[in-house]
Chain A
Amino acid sequence: MSEVAVVVNTGFQTISKERATGAFSVIEKDQLEKPTTNISQRLIGTTAGVQGKLDVDGNPIFAIRGQSSLYAQQQPLIVVDGFPVQGDFTSINPNDVETVTILKDAAAASIWGARSANGVIVITTKSAKKGTPLKVELNAFTRIGKKFDLDYVRPLAPSDQTVEYEKLAYANWRTLQNPIAVTDNGFAFSQAGIALNEFNFGYITAAERDATLERLKTLDNRGQISDYLLANPVSTQYNLTLSGSTGRMSNIVSLMYEDNQSNFKETTNKRYMVNFRTNAEVFNWMNFNFSGMLYANQARNNGVGLSDIQGMSPYDMLVNTDGSYTDINRYYTPIINRLVPTSKFPYANWNYNPINEIANRDLRTDQLNTRLQAGFNFKIIKGLTFDTKGQFELFNTFNKGIYNDNTFYVRQIVNQATSWNQSTNVMTPNLPKGSILNQSRSKAQSYNWRNQVNYNNVFAQKHEVTALAGAEINNVVTEFFGNPTTYGYNDQTLTTGIFPNGPGGTFFQIKNWMGSNQTFSYVNTYSYGTERYFSAYANAAYTYSKKYTLSGSYRTDASNLITDDPKYRYAPFWSVGLGWQIYKENFMSTIKWIDRMNVRATFGYNGNVDRSTSFRPLIATAGSQNIYTGDYTATVSSFGNPTLRWEKTRTWNIGLDYSLFRGKLYGKIDVYNKYGKDLIAQLSIPAINGTTSQRLNNAEMSNRGIELELGTHMKITRALTWRGNLNFSYNKNTIEKLFIATYAASTLYSGGTGAYVVGEDANSLWRFVYAGVINNQPSVYGADGTTYTFAAFTPGDGRDYMKNTGTLVAPYTLGFSSAFQYKDFNLSFMLTGKFGHVFQRLGFNYPPTWASRVLPNVKLSEVMNGKATDIVPLPYNPNEGRYYFWDRFHRYLSYLVENASHVRMQEINLNYTLPKSLLSRFNMSRLQLYAQGNDLFTIYANKAKEDPEYPLGTMNPRPKITFGIKCEF
């Protein structure tokens, strides 16, 4: 029975699992102990109904039991040691976490009132064990991953195919004029494009052009990109925890340091964290506790982004054979050379190279966060206690970016801001030379104060009563401070430049190099927001004869909504629950194979809040005067919401907990129905009201589902034990009520909030159905058997002819973990699976000749070899003038939609704990060595061989391996 955690923590109280009527999930301790840079990574796959996805750097996005709000906050609430916290999981030292409880249904979460509709994740941190003089824990690990596979993250066609395609695109599929004039300088054509265009205008011969093209076909920059711009992701973490207690006081302090190298060179971060927690029994009737957290994160974001890599032609080499940096041209270079007296500009060098760029910029984001919690607990009479506690948080983020004047960034800004008299070639610089500095800062400050009375008692050994009541206030102030760009900055002397000819504007116009008016911003920007809550709550449970439990909770939340009538600020949330420990009934006592069986049923309401609307129209003001008129300006930010109220989610949940065959099989089953009412949605209203749509509390959405958990703990042989845990969940999301007059096709295919359709899943993927080539034009099926070409936007309501190809969020999820203990070795793994949803694979990108590089992707061959009836071909018409418009269609075709089902090997962990007998010689109580592999492989159902969660052309997590050591004294 030790496998099943005996208590659940709601953040307000701990209750025994037996008496809990709600749907709680407790994460197992050995799962929390594995090496991680973010505690949320430990939750993936562990709990039925919790769907998580990690980004490439391991930061999570969670949804508990489906999406429950259309526009309001969708992330679950995170509670640490009893208080909701600002910031995300990064403000929690993963080594400090003692327990994690997930509250899924109304009975579990309604005590959190507002914002609990998305579920609550309750974390408690470790405290010192009583009577332990001193315990030292040391944990260190390092994790290294493979570099990106450029064929996956940058799926361009190979150089030879690219050049051939560029020839076609140049000859036939232009959207703009061929660059020739000085105003065309910004056409950042590829090298092949430049050769074709230069030949076209007679600046080079056919032989020169062909020589260039043939040379380009042989080049491949993947090696250089990998060597100069990419890095192996590495994370190293050290953690030291000291804890101890005397008779009446216990203390714990932990120090963590972590160093991360991202997938890109020069993009790194260092994290430092100190946590301290003390608990003192001041008198036998009064306890005092205090905890403090200090967190610093220093991020350096100098590296390139994926888009920089994706924006280069496959033959754009970074380094010449002599080691010098190439020019990855951002201009149409021959025009610059022919028509622009570059040496007369402030900077004569007009070249761009990313290696040079990342070496000459210093882009920092520094975070300095602190969290303090303190509380008193008074024992008043037997069973009655009183808590008063508070939390203060101060989160600061500083952004500072310095680009020195070796960067193209600076050279381009300064050169282009120069007024150039094209007849006399006299230059008038309008910006000073030197570095450019961008700075901004944000600050979030919050406090909570809570007072709570608790009552726990047992009468006549049959009547068990637990009750609490309390009130709390919460105030969060977020501020942002933006500084204007500083030009001519010198980081050594801290000197700055001035605008030599003023900042421009109506009365002091200054021209840029091309003769257009320009203005330079010189004002600071600010924002200031306040979120306030007041809440009062009560919760009681009564258990009779240790068999029957009745629980109820009530909470009212009030927030600083904008309203004339304060009554609208308050929202009542409540829940009731029943528990029946059926196995304690006499009629069950004969069934020997049942260790435990508990039936639960709950019903209640959770809530959600949107502060952006009001009964009345609201305005937003501009921070500075309009540069042309000198007036302050404002806009209407909300046209009014006469239906304003709190979003409410009604949930019922029926569950069964069981443990069979002496703990060999245990787990639970939950069935639920969540129904959101008065949800804020962007609804159609007649435009005569000033807007065609307005956020109104008038939508409804349901989530229905089932969750199964199955666990086992078996001794296979004397030395070998096996623990397995399987969880499975199904969720069906439906938008039940929503009024939108009509959906343009482009609104539907763009997805997101605009594509919510009544009767459908909130995450539906709407696509055109390809109809083949008709009259030399690729077409899609339209309403009533018509077809539409790719040349213009399709008319009417997209629902009439587009196809809902499925949901992007998996209705079925699976988690399977398994751990084998053989003597001192432990081998475990975690598999996750998601099924029944869809994703869109990469299709060919049909690039026309525009004002930049023509970059056909790797699917070019699919088009070349495909049939026009199945796949959109290259244009049939020479000089296809609307080719550029095709991207409104070819990206949104149903034939690109694939089954997204997959199974992921999340991690494999092997650890070895040295025998105690060996350790005692060194005064050690535990020494463990471990190795772990993450993201090792994924099995997918789609034929496109893409990872549905990280499709081709996006950053995908690469296999990583971790080695670490953990010891305790």
Chain B
Amino acid sequence: MKKSYQYIIRSISFGLFILTGFSSCKKYLEEPPSKTTSLVVTTTDQLSALLNNYTQFYAEGNRTAIYSTDDYELPKSLYDARPATFSSMATIQFMLWDIPYLPDDTREGFWSGEYKKIFYANMALDYVDKVTGPDADKAAIKADAHLIRAYSYWELANTYCLPYTDANKNEAGLPIKLSTSFEEPFVRQPLSKVYELIESDITEALKTTVPLQQGAQVRHWRASKAGVNGFAARYYLNRNNYAKAITHANAALAEYSTLVDYNSEMRYGRDGVLTIDAGTPQQQSVTIKFPYTHDNQSDFTDMLGWKEFLYFRMLDHESWWYIPSQNLLNLYDQTNDLRYRYHIVEGYSYDRGMSKPSYNYPGYIFFFKDRIPSGPTVAEMLLIKAEALARTNDVAGAMTAVNTLRAKRMLPGAWVNLSAINKDDAIKKVAEERRREMPFSQRWYDLRRYNNNEDPNDDVNLSKTFYPYTNSAVLSTQPVQNYTLPKGSRRWAAPLPRTEIISSDGVIEQNSY
């Protein structure tokens, strides 16, 4: 009796042991650790959710675009009025086309930020054929990912590499990442390879059939036919391929051509009220008039509601002051141009702390204090079309395009319509309009283009006057000196962050100057 008990127990125990141990162990351990985080991608909905997340994509902290053109100017007198306002050394270094110190700048975010977008795009492309979901969604995801990748590589190439010309074809381009793997080679590919990739990505993206407007929503934070055509138009204008630029601009405009009429739809928002020179005999109260687009910092209603976007991107300036150069200010018809009225904010220097002793200087304000539309817009399409027409000697066509935009930007009157006497005049008029419409956001790319196209008339050599500086201080006790960025300088390529060179163990190489 006892023996049989023991036998039964032994059998049971051994059975249980086996059961708990090894039967369904693999399945048991396949339970995902979380339902909402650390998820493996398995559906198109998840990929769409990644691409829907516009906060990951829309901002471009390109400080080269912000500081390194003739749209930005920090005059000595403004600096002297309150150096504390301009204490970020990056401001000075980008403005003066620094080479030795910029690689060590601690606030670098543009290079890494664009490569992060590329990672998202590669992630979508890696997974899109492995996940479940409708084919239409897969096609939309692919087009979106190709656009994101083309866009980021184009911005990086136009910031960190020399302008793309026949002579520069084999100059250092960018490390090319086409997947999410960390194993891909880090080494910088020749510039021509980078442009081949951009062009093939644009071709893929152009296959999209997604319309920009879907019902009441203009879904410009995802790729659409109009959005891809908009970027393609920008790309081909920059390649001096005017025929293709016109084709894509027209395709974009054919799908969507809504403009914001500054006469009826632009307005002032919440005023800034403050007192300057407080406690002195000059004390007075000032009201700063801001456009309504300044009112909300984190609420996206006004930004996503800006009707001209074909694709939602913005230049993002963490130091909150686009200081317009005198040169830029002089371009505006200050009485009749409503862009001047709303975007050039008088007394913005007070808002930036220059109130005791007070110093009056304007700021360029679009969305809040930091963001300017930089993605393709209806306005940009009109300007691309105008410029491409002008360069192909269709002066009248160019003026029609540019004046379509001006009608929505100026007070009504004789000054609205521009006219040109010949091709060169037309090019000049359109270029000036382009600057008025899109200061900071496109200027850097335009300057690189002007200096390397077939037209010698539009070349620009940049120069600035400022104090000497070190990596940590402006030497404001020393006399000012002249800084230049002439046509053909190798500094048209901004230096790479040094952390990249260290992290890649020297495989990623710095630009040579």
Contact = CB atoms under 8 A, between A and B. Distances in A.
Given A791-B84, A792-B87, A515 B472 contact: no
Contacts of B274: 177-178, 180-181
Interface residues of B, number: 101
Interface in A613-644: 613-614, 616-623, 626, 628-640, 642
B213 interface: no
A566 B273 CA distance: 64
Given A472-B20, A619-B50, A789-B473, A881 B353 contact: yes
A826 interface: no
Q: Which has the most chain B C-beta neighbours within 10 Å: A685, A744, A795? A: A795
Given A175-B353, A527-B34, A642-B183, A632 B45 contact: yes
Contacts of B10: 380, 386
A882 B471 CA distance: 18
B90 to A, nearest CB: 9
B17 A471 contact: yes
Interface string A268-298: 0000000000000000010000000000000
Contacts of B5: 285
A827 to B, nearest CB: 52
A616 B25 CA distance: 22
B177 A388 contact: no
A201 B34 contact: no
B498 interface: yes
A791 B55 CA distance: 31
Contact of A690 (B6, B53, B115, B271): B115
B132 interface: no
A879 B20 contact: no
B428 interface: no
Given A183-B270, A530-B31, A637-B38, A451 B17 contact: yes
Contacts of B478: none
A566 B31 CA distance: 12
Given A560-B30, A631-B52, A685-B182, A614 B40 contact: yes
B273 A473 contact: no
A638 B38 CA distance: 7
Nearest to B118: A690
A639 B33 contact: no
A686 B278 contact: no
Nearest to B55: A633
A85 interface: no
Given A530-B33, A640-B182, A794-B472, A616 B40 contact: yes
B504 interface: yes
Contact of B502 (A566, A629, A741): A741
Q: Which has the most chain A C-beta neighbours within 10 Å: B35, B305, B508? A: B35
Given A380-B6, A686-B503, A611 B31 contact: no
Nearest to A533: B29
Interface string B91-122: 00000000001001111000110011011101
A618 B6 contact: no
A689 B180 CA distance: 7
B49 A386 contact: no
A177 B350 contact: yes
Contacts of A180: 273-275, 285
Interface string A689-714: 11110100000000000000000000
Contacts of A450: 20
A795 B472 contact: yes
Given A562-B38, A617-B123, A635-B50, A629 B273 contact: no
B46 A686 contact: no
A794 to B, nearest CB: 7
A558 B120 CA distance: 31
A453 B17 contact: yes
B281 interface: no
A134 B353 CA distance: 80
Contacts of A640: 180-182
Contact of B301 (A622, A628, A739, A881): A628
A583 interface: no
Interface string A865-898: 0000000000000011110010000000000000
Given A528-B35, A686-B508, A882-B84, A562 B40 contact: yes
B299 interface: yes
A453 B13 contact: yes
A848 to B, nearest CB: 12
A446 B86 CA distance: 57
B513 interface: no
Given A451-B20, A788-B472, A881 B84 contact: yes
Contacts of A71: none
B481 interface: no
B500 A882 contact: no
Interface in B469-513: 470-473, 497-500, 502-504, 508
A201 B275 CA distance: 9
A388 B13 contact: yes
Nearest to B122: A690
Contacts of B296: 516-517
A546 to B, nearest CB: 30
Contacts of A689: 115, 119, 177, 182
B456 interface: no
B54 A629 contact: yes
A17 interface: no
A902 interface: no
Contacts of B13: 378, 380, 386, 388, 451, 453
Contacts of A530: 31-34
A560 B29 contact: yes
Contact of B472 (A176, A612, A614, A786): A786
Interface string A559-577: 1111000100100000000
Contact of B21 (A536, A616, A622): A536
A687 B34 CA distance: 27
Contacts of B111: 687
Interface in B22-69: 25-26, 28-41, 45-46, 48-50, 52-56
A691 B500 CA distance: 11
Contacts of A796: 104, 471
Interface string A730-746: 00000000010110101
Contacts of A786: 470, 472
Contacts of A201: 275, 278
Nearest to A611: B33
Interface string B200-230: 0000000000000000010101000000000
Contact of B29 (A566, A694, A739): A566
A381 B186 CA distance: 66
A687 B300 CA distance: 28
Interface string B297-318: 0011110110000000000000
Which 6 residue pairs are nearest across A and B when measured between Cβ atoms? A690-B119, A881-B84, A181-B273, A687-B112, A634-B49, A631-B52
26 contacts: A176-B353, A177-B275, A386-B13, A473-B28, A527-B34, A529-B34, A530-B33, A530-B34, A560-B32, A561-B33, A562-B33, A618-B37, A618-B38, A619-B39, A621-B37, A626-B53, A628-B304, A632-B52, A633-B55, A637-B38, A686-B186, A689-B182, A691-B116, A792-B88, A793-B106, A793-B107
Interface of A: 171, 174-178, 180-184, 200-201, 285, 378, 380-381, 386, 388, 449-451, 453, 470-473, 505-506, 509, 514-519, 526-532, 534, 536, 558-562, 566, 569, 611-614, 616-623, 626, 628-640, 642, 684-692, 694, 739, 741-742, 744, 746, 782, 786, 788-789, 791-796, 879-882, 885
Given A741-B502, A795-B472, 4 more contacts: A180-B273, A534-B25, A634-B52, A782-B472
